[in-house]
Each structure stands twice: as structure tokens, then as C-alpha cells.
Copies of this chain bind each other. A is one copy, B any other.
């Protein structure tokens, strides 16, 4: 390739040996240089004697490169040109102003996530349906796994495996006995030192397409819901895999690294996780977003390798209501990646109503965090969005674009909790100090006050809007100054927005 767009994927290929184990016995290394940046990244073996090295440039202009490899005497060198970014590609997401997120070009990133653990390992048809659903949604982040998932509603075979080998016979599995097959079951035969490039090529295609749609790919590297043994790799196997996937995927601008779904259910030590984290830090020169997701015990997100908090609620009742506390505690963006799923399955984590899911979204956002969705509705041939993607059948997702549009009304990037908030409301103000007094959001959650009184100051005129977050209405209520009162219908899920004139 001699031309690439800024934050696009530039890659170069080279033929090499296919005998022995190219994944462990060979290496490829790419050095890239331009006026504005220089980097060194690992290449990877893509099968059939083909080696690839990838790079994501962060600047326009001329770049030169130098490829070395274990099987190459000397170097392969060349140049390429970086053109302006493709419209819609704003670069990787970064932390901005301690608690907010923004794309590399400075555009605010208001994260509205969803979770579909193994959507990309389903049939072509189902995958297309997922893309179609996503394209019509407000979602700009999707959380999913590299490894296949084994769990109730997830007993069938994935479309491919990450390693060479053969799986156990899954015809013996039932909804009743699946628990007995957790972890490394009998009958699997994998070479955990030889990856299956097709599995990763497909993953990349999905990541790339998501990127073109403006959707961040929050890639879960490890998870405990397993029958193949992929949750029980040795520390050496962990790092071999991490290096492989980082070398393949880190050049995609929209990648986030989620070390685990429910790390605390896995048989890895704290040192194992740190070792994985440090390998990513070392091997990913683009510093993609990095975090780790809990089941019962929230990770210590104050650790430097974590760019943000990725939280699963740990209490059935008080969930996203802790967002502001976590924000204060960790002083990093708080992404509420799992706040229970809209659905009706047998488990409490997957059977809240659309109303409650939407309520949790608003609570999260107004407490200065970023919410994440998931859906587990039964009655659709056991295809659940939460794992398989497909179609959405719930009610909450239809209302996230409205939330996003309201959040965009806030000047600057990001909101923070309003310190003057009363105990019977959530309220947010602009995160950036220069906009103090310019914008106020109030949300009344499950309560239904028929009016609220305000007295912010005596000088500023505010345009007031009554928000019906469920009906997605933003009604102008008048312009006010000094002491004033806003009437509300006697309904749940209402809010008020005040914008300084």
C-alpha cells in the first residue's frame, strides 16, 4: 500500500516460512517514521506463509518504513503517503479532562454502548442482521469477545475457533447439564500455540465495518464462560495470544481493550492480569482505551494501566446510582458497561424492564458516566441480543438517541454531577469550568414531582425545557430568571433542562 488515510490501516505483507510453528518460531517487526511520529510494531503470521505488519498513522504526510523479520536477511523498506482522514474517522477515543472521552481529533465521544458477546461468531445472516440493527441505533460502542462463549442460551458451536484443533462433541449439552462443562471439558483437542488466522481475519472484518459505522469495538480478551479450555490458558499462552491479537488489531482506530468480562470469575492471579495489561501497554503504540470488567469485585481502576472504569453493577438494587462515587474514587471516565439487561430471562441480571434500563442510562449520564445496554428477551428462537446480536425487541434502545441529543446540548465535552443537587434528583452541569452556569440538567428518575422550584442566581435568563425521557419529548417551558417554578406532568422519568440565554 502506498496510500492510506489518517487513522486508517496501512499494512505490508511478506512471504515467509510456513513450516514448523510460524506463530512461535518467527517474528516480524515494523519500524515507521514520519516528521511527526515514529513507531515500532510487531507483525503477525496470517497463515499460508503470509506475514503481515500493520500501522495506523496519526498524521498526514510522508512516512517511511523498515520491515525486519526472523527469516529475512536484511530489511524491506519503502514509503507511503497519509491522506486526510476518511470523513467520520475521528481517530481513537482518548480520555479528556480526567472524566470525559473524546476522539483524537477532539470531537466529544458520548459513549452509548451495548453488549453482544459473540455476535460475530454467528451465521452470516445473523451477523448482517446485527450490522443492520446497529446502523439504525444510537450505539457507538459494542462489547464483544474474541473467544466463543459457553453458557445457557450459548451451547451451539461458534462459526470458527481461535486455535487450530477440534472441539469436544457438543451434542451432549443441554440447558440442564451445561454447568458441568465449564472450563476445559474432555474431548477438546487444541494446539494452543497455533492460532487459526481465519478466526481473526473475520474478527478484523467485523471491527473494520464497525469502525466505518462510527462504532467502537470494545474487545474482550478473556472470559470465564468456556468449555474449550480457552479460559484456562497458561500465563505463557496468555501472552502469546495477547501479542498476536494486539499485532493484528491495534491498527484499527476503533479498538478498545477489555482484558476480561468478569475477570474475578477466572483462574488468573492479579500478577497474570498485570502481565497481560503490561504486554498490551508495551505492544500497542496507539494507546487504545484499556480496562477490565468485574463480576462481584470491582477492579482497582486507580492502577495506571487502566484508562477508564469498566463496571458491572454489583448490587441488584443500587446500581448506577454509585456512578458519581466511582468517578470521585478513581478519577477516570466511568463506563457502566453492565447495568443489567432489558429482558425476561430467569436471572436477575437479565430481566429488567425497558423503563428501568432507560432510567439507569439517564442516572449514569447525569452522574458523569457513560452507560451500556444489553438485551435478553426470550421468545425469539433463543436468539438473544446479549450474546448473538440479531434484532432488538426491547423498548429502551429506541430512546437512547434522544438521550444522546440532550447530552449534546451541554456546552464543552462532558457533564459532571451538580454539587448543588438535592437528594431527590440527579443533576448535571458542564464538566468544563468555563461553561459554569450555562447549562443544567435535572432528572427525576422513578419519582414524579408535579413541579420543581429553582433559584440558581438572580442575573441569568434560562430557557427551560421539560424532558419526557420515555416519550422522547423536549418541550419549551418558558424563559426564567431568579426564583422560578417549572410544572411537570405527574409522570415518572421526567427531566428539566435549563440553557442560559
Query: In the bound complex, how far is the Cα of B347 from the Cα of A492, in angstroms?
Result: 13
Which B residue sits closest to A296, measured CB to CB?
A: B423
Which B residue sits closest to A426, measured CB to CB?
A: B316
Query: In the bound complex, how far is the Cα of B378 from the Cα of A446, in angstroms?
Result: 17
Residue A270 interfacial (CB < 8 Å) = no
| Residues of chain A in range 272-293 having any CB-CB distance to chain B below 8 Å | none
Using Cβ atoms and an 8 Å threshold, which residues of chain B touch A346?
A: 449-453
Residue A351 interfacial (CB < 8 Å) = yes
Residue A33 interfacial (CB < 8 Å) = no
Residue A344 interfacial (CB < 8 Å) = yes
Using Cβ atoms and an 8 Å threshold, which residues of chain B touch A447?
A: 316, 348, 351-352
B318 touches A317 (CB 8 A): yes
Q: How many copies of this chain sit in the oligomeric assembly? A: 2
Residue A321 interfacial (CB < 8 Å) = yes
Query: In the bound complex, how far is the Cα of B315 from the Cα of A448, in angstroms?
Result: 17
Q: Is the interface of A mostly helix, strand, loop or mixed?
A: loop
Query: In the bound complex, how far is the Cα of B444 from the Cα of A345, in angstroms?
Result: 12
B492 touches A345 (CB 8 A): no
Q: Mark A424-441, 1 if CB is under 8 A from B, else 0.
A: 110000000000000000
Residue A244 interfacial (CB < 8 Å) = no
Residue A395 interfacial (CB < 8 Å) = no
Query: In the bound complex, how far is the Cα of B317 from the Cα of A315, in angstroms?
Result: 12
B490 touches A446 (CB 8 A): no
| Residues of chain A in range 282-326 having any CB-CB distance to chain B below 8 Å | 315-318, 321
Residue A60 interfacial (CB < 8 Å) = no
Residue A349 interfacial (CB < 8 Å) = yes
Partner of A347, one of B424, B446, B490: B424
Query: In the bound complex, how far is the Cα of B353 from the Cα of A65, in angstroms?
Result: 65
B356 touches A450 (CB 8 A): no
Using Cβ atoms and an 8 Å threshold, which residues of chain B touch A490?
A: 344, 351, 378
Using Cβ atoms and an 8 Å threshold, which residues of chain B touch A349?
A: 424
Q: Mark A121-161, 1 if CB is under 8 A from B, else 0.
A: 00000000000000000000000000000000000000000
A423 touches B348 (CB 8 A): yes
A424 touching B344 in the complex, CB below 8 Å, given contacts A351-B448, A352-B447: no
Query: In the bound complex, how far is the Cα of B452 from the Cα of A445, in angstroms?
Result: 29
B316 touches A450 (CB 8 A): no
A492 touching B353 in the complex, CB below 8 Å, given contacts A348-B447, A424-B348: yes
5 nearest A-B pairs in the assembled complex, by CB-CB distance: A348-B424, A344-B490, A318-B318, A346-B449, A317-B321
Sample (15) of A-B pairs whose CB atoms are under 8 Å apart: A344-B448, A344-B449, A345-B449, A345-B450, A346-B451, A348-B444, A348-B447, A349-B424, A351-B448, A351-B450, A351-B490, A352-B448, A353-B448, A356-B446, A378-B490
Given contacts A352-B447, A356-B446, 20 further A-B contacts (CB under 8 A): A316-B424, A316-B445, A318-B318, A318-B321, A345-B450, A346-B449, A346-B453, A347-B424, A347-B449, A348-B423, A348-B424, A348-B425, A349-B424, A351-B447, A351-B450, A352-B446, A352-B448, A353-B448, A353-B492, A378-B490
